[in-house]
Amino acid sequence: MQNAISSHIVANTGNMRFTHKNGLNSNQNGILQKDGVNNAQNAEKMKEEYSKIDAKELTNGYLAFYQNQSAQNSSFNFEAQFSAFSFSNLAGAFSNSSKTANEISNILSGIDLKSIGYEGKPISELSREEASDLVSEKGFFGIANTADRISNFIISAAGDDLQKLEAGKEGMLRGFKEAEKIWGGELPEISQKTIEKATQAVDKRIAELGGNVLSVQA
């Protein structure tokens, strides 16, 4: 027979088998085809499972990142608020803390004030009157304006995503506690009223989306 023929007939006990160039007979090839189908099915199942895991991890990672942003935004606002409040008092010192003006300046050096929208005169350089204006009722770091900045940061970014909104609230409360640690105890009344007002705004939005406002506590 000619060498150009890609397959040949092999006689074996009266039965005919077809042998391919790759050396596999029809029975072996059938097994591989069956295995190939099984492997393909397994691959699809694995791909589907991995896609679920990846999506879950991606969602969790995204929520964690957003929660950290909310915590930082909250903490920066409260740190700046109580710093301005401190300079509005005599001697530029906290009324309920042993921190000095220099210590407060060190705290301010770690705050990105532009990230929370403040572009005014450096807080550590404020006079007592200027600091008082800053934390007054209509001041940038007054209760209403600070609470609005903190809550709007969360509400605007979350949109209609309840899970994201709840993550933002948790971050906000965590940021408040971080500010307390830096303060060295319970924050002054201005900050207590601010977190209360900010929490009310976020809770209202959570309720509008059908969430449980008690599911995330300080």
Mean pLDDT lowest among 21-25, 148-152, 209-213: 21-25
Query: What is the maximal distance between C-alpha atoms in the chain?
Result: 112
Percent of the chain at pLDDT exceeding 90:
55
Mean pLDDT along residues 14-21: 41
How many residues are listed for the chain in this entry?
A: 218
In whole angstroms, what is the distance from residue 149 CA to residue 194 CA?
A: 10
Please say if the pLDDT value at position 39 is more than 70.
Answer: no
In whole angstroms, what is the distance from residue 182 CA to residue 11 CA?
A: 90
Arithmetic mean of pLDDT over the chain? 80
Are the beta carbons of 105 and 98 closer than 8 angstroms? no
Give the pLDDT band (50/70/90) at residue 56: low
Residue 10: DSSP 8-state: E
